[in-house]
Amino acid sequence: MEQPPNAHDEAGPGLGLGTASAPGKAGTAPYRVLARKYRPARFEDLIGQEAMVKTLSNAFDLERIHQAYILTGVRGVGKTTTARILARAFNYEVPAQGARPAVTRPTIHMPELGVHCQAIIESRHVDVIEMDAASHTGIDDVREIVESARYKPVMARTKVYIIDEVHMLSKQAFNGLLKTLEEPPDHVKFLFATTEIEKVPVTVRSRCQRFDLRRVDASVLTGYLAAICAKEAVTIEAEALSLIARAAEGSVRDALSLLDQAIAHGSGLFGASQSGAKITAEALRGMLGLADRGRIIDLFEALMRGQMAEALGILKDLHDFGADPSEILASLAEFIHLVTRLKLVPEAAQDASLTPDERVRGEQFSQALSMPVLTRAWQLLLKGLREVKDSPRPLAAADMVLVRIGFAADLPAPDEALRKLAATASGEAQASSEAQERSPRGENPGARGPVAVSTARAVVAPAPCPAAPAPSFALARFEDVVALASEHRDIQMKLALERDVRLVRFEQGQIEFSVASGGSPQLAQTLARRLQEWTGSRWMVAVSNAPGAPSLKEQEDAKVREALSGVRAEPLVQSVLAAFPGAEIVAVRAAGPAPEIVPAGTDGETNDEITFHDGITMEDEL
C-alpha cells in the first residue's frame, strides 16, 4: 500500500476502499489495477459480508478463535482478502506509545497498521504462508506443510497457512492433512478458500468453521463504485454504474475490473486523462455489447402487443448497434423477471439499481399483464436462449424465438381456454337440443360427438358414425344414468358408475364428478361417448377436484352398516348371539308380506329376516 497506516479512513467507513495512492500522480509508482488498489485491509472495509464480520468479531472479543476456517463463495467476493485480514488479526501487534497501551493479543479492531501488517498485506511475511492448491495439488506439498507446522513462528505470534482453491487438492493430499488439521499446534491456524465447497471432503469441512460469502447486492455495489469514481476523479452516469453492477453479478472484483476498463474507454473516447475520464451509459453499453435497457422495454411491449414487425425491427437495430442476440434475450428475460417481481412484491420498485424507465414502465406492465402470460414468456425465453447459443445463426434463431413469444402472447391461459371450451360445448348442446325439438324425426344434424371436460384437461370424443335418435325420456337423476347403462347391458360401465363416481353436480346434458381411488382415468371420456350413443345428444362430462358425494356403492355400504348397527341393538338379537357363541350377523334383508295368512297382531307389517353365519335365520317383527 502506498499510503501511511491511517490512510484507511480516507475512504469513509464501510466502503471497502482500503488504501490507495493519490490519483493522477504519474511516475510515483507503477499503475495498480483498481481491484488491488482498493483491496480491503480490515474488516470494516468489507462490503456485503456483515454476518461473517459480526460472527468473527464476537469470536475474537470472546477469545473463542477456531483453529481452521473455510471461506466459500463465487469469484471476487473477498475470500482471499478475508483470509489475509484474518492473518493480520491473528498477529496484530502494536507497541505501547505514550498513553496508548500496547496490543499483544489477537483482535479484529485494527485502526492502524501493526508490526506485521504491511508484510502480511503484501504477501511477504515469513510466518503467513500462502499456497495455491491449483498448482500444488499433491501429497508432497501437504507433507511440507505438516512438517513445518511443528516449528514455532519466526517473528509473529501465529503461523498461518492460507490455501487458496483448496478443492483442487488430491484425495491423498486431503487425507495427509486431516490429522494436523484436527489437532494442530497452538501456534498454527489454517485458512482455506474455495469456489466449489462441494468438492471439499466432508472430513475436512467438519474440522473447519465455514463461512459462505454472499454476492454483493447491486445497490451496495453501485454505491461502492460511485465512491471509487469520486476518489479517482472520474465522472460517471448513474445508469452506467447500474450497468456495471448488473454485469458484475455480485462480484466486487469483476465490478472493479469493468470500471477499470470503462475508465480507459472513457478517457480514450473524450481525449482526456484518466483523472478526467467521463463514462456514459451509451458508451458503456457499446463497450460491453449490452442492449439499451429502454429499447429492451420497447421490445417487450411490442411482443406483448403482438406487433411482430416492430419487435423484429428493434432486435435488428440492437444487433446492428453491437449487442449479441443471446445478450438481448437475456436482458429481455431479466426484465420479465423484474415485472414478475413487481407484480408479486411491489416494494421491489425501490431498488436503487433500477433505472427510472425500468421502475415506471415495469410497474405499468405488472398491473396490465397476468401471471400466466409472464410465466409463459419466461419459459419460452429460457428455451430460446439455449437455441440461440447453440445455433450457427444466432440472429435468425433469436428472430424465431421472438416470433414464438409474440404469437403466444395473445393466446388465452389454460384455465381461460378451458372455460371457453366448456361454454362453447354447452352452447352447442343447447342449440342441438333445440334442433332436435324442431326436427320431426328427432334428428340432430349438428351433433359431432360429446365433449369430456376435466379440470386438468379437455377431451373431445370422436363422433359416432350414425346419429342415434333422441330418447323418449329425460335423465333426471344420476341413478337414471346407471339404469340406462344396465338397460344397454354395459355391465362394466354400470359397475364403474356405482363404484367410482362421486357426484358433484348433475343436470340434463352435464355431469361433474370426482373419481374414487382406483377408478379409471378414462371414465369421463368413455361415459361421454356412451351417453352420446344412448341418448343421441351431447353430454358435457367433467372431472372435478372437489370431493363430491359418496358413490352409490359407498352409500349402499353405509346403509348396510346402519342396518346392522340397528339390528345388533335389539335385545332379541343380542340374546340369540349370546346363545350361539361365534355367530355373526352377515345380512339384514327385508321380507315381503306373507303370501297367505298374516298372524294376528301384526297389522300387516312386513318382517325383517336376519341371517347368521352358521345358517340360522330368524324372523322378528321390527
The pTM for the full model equals 0.56
In this structure, the strands spanning 608-612 and 585-590 are antiparallel
Any idea which architecture 49-212 has in CATH?
3-Layer(aba) Sandwich (3.40)
- The Cα–Cα gap between 499 and 139 comes to 70
* CA neighbor of 532 nearest in space, from 422, 452, 450, 429: 450
Report how far residue 289's alpha carbon sits from residue 594's, in angstroms, rounded to the nearest whole number: 99
Is 169 or 249 the better-scoring residue by pLDDT?
A: 169
Name residue, grid cell 344396465.
486
Measured distance CA(585)–CA(576) in Å, rounded: 10
Q: Return the SS3 of 450.
A: coil
Q: What cell does 59 get?
A: 469470536
Q: Are 112 and 82 in contact (CB under 8 A)?
A: no
CATH fold of 293-411 reads Zinc Finger, Delta Prime; domain 3 (1.20.272)
Q: What CATH number should be reported for the domain whose range is 218-288?
A: 1.10.8.60
Q: pLDDT digits over 143-173, tens only?
A: 999 999 999 999 999 999 999 999 999 999 9
Task: Evaluate whether 301 touches 327 at the Cβ level (below 8 Å).
Answer: no
State the chain's mean pLDDT as an integer.
79
Structural domain boundaries in the chain: 49-212, 218-288, 293-411, 416-549, 559-620
> Hey, do 49-212 and 218-288 end up sharing a CATH topology, with the first three levels equal?
no
Burial of 483 (0-12, 13-18, 19+ CB in 10 A): middle
Helix axes 491-500, 552-568, angle to 10 degrees: 60
507 band by pLDDT with thresholds 50, 70 and 90? confident
- Per the CB < 8 A criterion, the answer to whether 305 and 374 are in contact is no
Q: Which three cell numbers stand for residue 523?
A: 371414465
210 CB burial (10 A radius; 0-12, 13-18, 19+): middle
Q: Is 159:130 a contact under the CB 8 Å cutoff? A: no
Q: For residue range 104-145, what is the model confidence (pLDDT) as tens digits?
A: 889 988 988 889 999 998 889 999 999 999 899 899 999 999
Residue with cell 472493479: 256
pLDDT band at 453 (very low <50, low <70, confident <90, very high): very low
The three three-digit cell numbers of residue 116, written as one number: 506485521
Per the CB < 8 A criterion, the answer to whether 537 and 429 are in contact is: yes
Identify the three-state secondary structure at position 565: helix
pLDDT on residue 276: 58
- Measured CA to CA in angstroms, residue 360 lies from 297, 316, 334, 349, 364 at distances of 11, 26, 16, 8, 7
